[in-house]
Amino acid sequence: MSQKNYSKNKNVLIDQFFKKQNMKKRFNLLVLVFIFTCVSSYAQQALFGGQPIVSPEINADNSVTFRVLAPNAEKVLVTGDFLPTEKVQSPMGEMEAPGKAEMTKDEKGVWSFTSEPLESELYDYSFVIDGFTTTDPSNPYVIRDIASITNYFIVGGGKADLYMVQDVPHGSVTRRWYDSPGLNMDRCAVIYTPPGYENSTEKYPVLYLLHGAGGDEEAWFAHGKATRILDNLIAEGKVKPMIVVMPNGNVIQDAAPGEGRDNFVTPAFMIPNTMDGTFEANFMDILKFVESNYRVKADKADRAIAGLSMGGFHSMHISRYYPNTFDYVGLFSAALLPREDATGKVYSNIDETLKQQKKNGYKLYWTGIGKTDFLYDANKEFRAKLDSIGMEYTYMETDGGHIWRNWRIYLSEYLPLLFK
């Protein structure tokens, strides 16, 4: 090859090399522009007038404004327990459900609704966008109730201050696995120890706090805000420091969905064997574990049991089946309806075991129910049974139905009466 041809070919190769490099640069630049455009577009979706959408916004008069960006939606509703309830059919009959309110769309595609001024309370809510129920993308605070995820917010300045983290000493919350020989498995319980437990040698009384149907060991901790209530009432000197054990009442599970051996099971409302006597008959497995692994006062005077709905059903039967075990019993909207599967030994001789419980003596038998609770009549009949055998009890009746709002109130009223 001549020197002239060599130089010519070399120049062509050099030109081709730089063209390829420029093409790569242009391609990389286009990729960067595409990514930036996508990110900018996504960021713009989270902006309202140049600012992030604020939802929910608690106003000065305690009304609350909800907002959601849905420019292509035709109809958006907000639903929550801050609205008047409506009647719906459920597996357990006619029940109250959270109401719904229509939201209004502005020129930017943001839908909004402002409530009436609300009393101090913890409230749940969701959005319904063209028939699809979803959470509020501007609110990271959510609660799982059975298989439903809802947002929540707290209006302070009243009783709901108990449900908020305050600047007080805090207890510890742990998930403890215990062996249950009766159920042939290791099982999980959430256990609260009061402030100072780790650094003391003191022995403490114990409350066994039971969840309702569809719940699990996390229900009272997450939805009931039990540990915050305890921290705040202990700090106020209204409640004695105590250990609180929150077990899983679903006997075929070892733990809450996603936390046990079955991993990501779908949460269900009524799980097999939950109300057939199996849980009650094997409850002593939990008690023995606690009294072997924690510094507790292991006697009747320093044991309490309470539960909501199904947990109230369990509490009533456990306390009378082991009639010399608990000095304090709490029934919160207890599910005391007759059941076809309640045929086990636990449910035999109910009147006789209640009379034995009375004879053995106790310090508090507490029961509460909402005026519109679908279990109101069943609880009224049970109180008549207690009256007929001369069994004293403390009764609280509240507005509303079968709702967490009532159960948090009942817990707040029950705790100060314990271990006196």
Q: What domains can be seen in the chain, in order of their start residue?
A: 53-157 (2.60.40.10), 162-417 (3.40.50.1820)
Q: What is the pLDDT of residue 396?
A: 98
Distance CA 68, CA 223 (A): 24
Which DSSP letter does residue 415 get? G
Distance CA 280, CA 278 (A): 6
Asked whether the beta carbons of 391 and 359 are under 8 A apart, the reply is no
Neighbours of 387 (CB within 10 A): 11
Which DSSP letter does residue 236 get? T
Amino acid letter for position 9: N
Q: What is the pLDDT of residue 7?
A: 45
Q: What is the pTM of this model?
A: 0.83
Q: Please tell me whether residue 329 adopts helix, strand or coil conformation.
A: strand
Distance CA 185, CA 252 (A): 9
Distance CA 6, CA 354 (A): 109
Asked whether the beta carbons of 244 and 210 are under 8 A apart, the reply is no
Cα 230–231–236 angle (5° rounding)? 95
Q: What is the pLDDT of residue 93?
A: 61
Asked whether the beta carbons of 188 and 255 are under 8 A apart, the reply is yes
Q: What is the pLDDT of residue 44?
A: 37
Asked whether the beta carbons of 233 and 413 are under 8 A apart, the reply is no
Distance CA 53, CA 274 (A): 43
* pLDDT, one tens digit for every residue, the chain (420 residues): 444 444 444 444 445 544 444 544 444 444 333 433 343 333 334 444 456 899 999 999 999 999 999 999 999 999 999 998 877 666 556 667 888 999 999 999 999 999 999 999 999 999 999 999 999 999 999 988 776 889 999 999 999 999 999 999 999 999 999 999 999 999 999 999 999 999 999 999 999 999 998 889 899 999 999 999 999 999 999 999 999 999 999 988 887 777 777 777 776 677 877 888 899 999 999 999 999 999 999 999 999 999 999 999 999 999 999 999 999 999 999 999 766 666 678 898 899 999 999 999 999 999 999 999 999 999 999 999 999 999 999 999 999 899 999 999 999 999 999 999
